[in-house]
Structure formats: C-alpha cells, structure tokens
Structure 1
C-alpha cells in the first residue's frame, strides 16, 4: 500500500466544483474514474480543499492510497491520457502513509482576476470577471490591507458555512495590474487586475465575498476604511456581494517539506 500525492490543474467552467456532489459532474468524479481505468482501483481521493462550481485551479493537491505497482513518475502521463483536456495532472510523488492533503496544508493562495479594460477579453473570458466601469484600484488596495492578520471572518463567509470557527489568518494580500492588453492611446482601459490572498485557510465563498466588497470600494460605494468596519461586524449582511466564480483560481497550496518525505525502510 502506498500513499500518492498529486497536483492537478483544471478549468472549472464545466464542472460543479471539485468535490463529489450527488447532483453534479465534478473534478473528483472525473479523476477517480481515470484512476479506476488505469489501475483498476475504485477509491476516493482526498483534496487540499474544495473549489466551488466554475472555480479554477492552477495547483490543487490531492492524495490517495493505492496498491498499484505503477511508479510515481508514470502516473501523470498515464492519467492525463484518460482525462479530458481541461484537467491536467502535473506532479505525482509517494508520501508517508499518514500524510493528509487537507490537514497537512499550511498555506493556500488564491488569485482573483478582474478585467478592467473597456471591453472583455474574448480569449480569457472564462477566467476573468469583466468590470465595464472604472475602478479606483488604489482604494481597493488600501481596503485589502485591513484584512491582513488573524480575525473572525464571519462577514466574509457564506451564510451556509458549517465551520465551527470562522477565525482564519491572512498572511499576505497584494494586487498586480497587467496593462499588456490595454489599447495604445486609449485612456479608458485600466488593465487586468490580479488580487492574491495567502492564508491559513479560507471559508466558503470567502475570497469571492472579499472581492465583491472590494469592487464596491473601487466603484466608490464604500471607503477603504469601511472594510475594517465590515470585518468587525461579523455579519455577512455587512459585506458586499459574492463575486462571480469564474474569476477565482486556487493558485498554490504549501506544505511543510518534512511532511512530504517518505521514511526509508531498511532491509
């Protein structure tokens, strides 16, 4: 028996999220079916966390137990030949038997993308929220700073959240603007705004509610300092709307390197 860790990238457009659902096609379902076709094993994979319908991933992590003799370096190509083109396994390695991809995760980074040019980008429309009006990006960045640290993020959690505690830590948060698609001489185009948040973990819809609130700051409907007031309210009704899912991407999941090292067995 071996415990295998894998990383997967996916376009979540046509899926009902990562985690198996009774009424929807999910990334987990497709991967498990591919594993069954490859190794003949019917099993359940454990992911670092779930992503909602329409959300994408650059580096989602999952693990599972297998009796298959297939070496780790062969798994990626073998699985990818059985997966649809919008799901790609990018890494595979053997880890200790007690490794758990969700419990062992130390940090997660999400990226949310807003296209603030006048017109949407036809070729990236699946991965960007297009905002047709001008945004005060400096005000948004100032508001974002109020979310750093360890707080109760109830105001930025879905009302359906079942977590016993809404206390989380956001270690870093920053914005980057890509102006490469701005039209020359056009003063209406503002560029593509990428917002990154790295934290100990995130609540259901947390990043999307944060972004929906920051968009209202950018529109002038809220002040940057109001983000702190919203946080302190611990009330979902105090925050802005939940931003559309297609702009969100699970960017990275980090682990303590020691937890990934498989002990050597002496014979």
Structure 2
C-alpha cells in the first residue's frame, strides 16, 4: 500500500508503491538527543504532500543557500546509518553532500557521527528519494548520485517496490547535471542485472565502465550491508553510468 496520512483535499496521494516500509522503531536516548539538538543544523525542512515522507511538487531548495556556497553536490539515496556519506563528507570538504533516508534512527546516527567528524558540508532529508530527485533538487544540480545497497525486495511479489526500475532513470537524469555520474552497488545478483538492464536502456545514460561490471568505487567505505553480503557469500557488483548530454533540439527530462 502506498504510504499516506490524513490530509486535506488539496493534497494528493502517491500513485505507485514506494521502495520502503517505514517501521515505528524507538530511537535510543542518544539518538533522540541528536535529533533534538542536531537536526536544526543538518536536517532540511521541506514542504510535504500527502505522505509523511513526501515532497510537495513545486517546492525546490536552492543548494547555494542551503550550504552557503556553490560547490559540487553528491547525493546518497538510502544513506542508512550514514557510514559512507559521513566518511565522504568529512574527507572531502570541498564537496557538498546530501543524505536521503526515511528512517529516523539512521538519520539521527548520521547526525551524531557527522557532528563528531566535524562535517559541516553535509545535510540530510527525511524523504522518499524519487520525490527528492523530482521535486526538491533543482534540475541539473547534482554531480554524483549514489545508490548503495538499496533494499533488494528479493521476494518475487515485492520486486515492484525496487527503486531502480524503469521509472527511475528519468528522475535521476533530471537531477544530474550533464556528465554527472550515477553510482550503484548491490550484493543481490538479480537486482544487479535488473539495474544494468534498466540503465542500459535509458537514453540519457551511458556506461562509465568496461566489461560486465564497474570496478569497486574507491570512495565507498565498507559498510555493514557490504560485510553482511560478503559473509553470506554474495558477490558485490558495482555499476556506474554517466548522464549524457541531450541531443540537439531535445529538452531535459
């Protein structure tokens, strides 16, 4: 069922399933404290549509105003506990980073670790990723888009919830600048094959690797998801696609 909440008639509900199920998990005292104390610094305030994690169409942010400067922007979808993006933001101060996640405990942990690491070039948003790409981020504002170990929804009846499906390339291409890079990784072979098929068929993306799979992205630190996959004997597969420039006379998606 699409996520929803009780709202007035001017709001609309989502017309397709989201790639997550929000569970009401309790945060620890430290996470609650981080949420209260650090969210004013790190968490973006956004306008909602019908659902708690939605973005109202026509409500984009200005990255230069958000970060107080103009710099390359990297967006991670499904940042989880924030290990990859906190490491990246704390070691690459000349780049701005945005973590997109729907689970508050993960966002709180990310803020705690970012504060300890002194990462001031990181912001977080509690939202459904396709709506962030379509409604929150200005067209062509993202230099790199990361999708690392998304939920594989491995049961056949649930695969329709997978993020990287035929509708995804259009919203990803909209947010990425011409020449921007989409990086993906998963430990589920059938999802890796689906990702590759979907993006190979997307007219505004071209492979940024040779052979069957991309080499492991050096900027991705080892996370619990990757260790878990390796421990279970699953092969980690990377992909990288470059956002192509539109052909003459063709508009942006």
TM-score range, shorter chain: under 0.3
Is the strand fraction higher in 1 or 2?
Answer: 1
The TM-score, its normalising length taken from structure 1, stands at: 0.24
Is the helix fraction higher in 1 or 2?
Answer: 2
The TM-score, its normalising length taken from structure 2, stands at: 0.25
Higher relative contact order (CA 8 A, sep 6+): 1
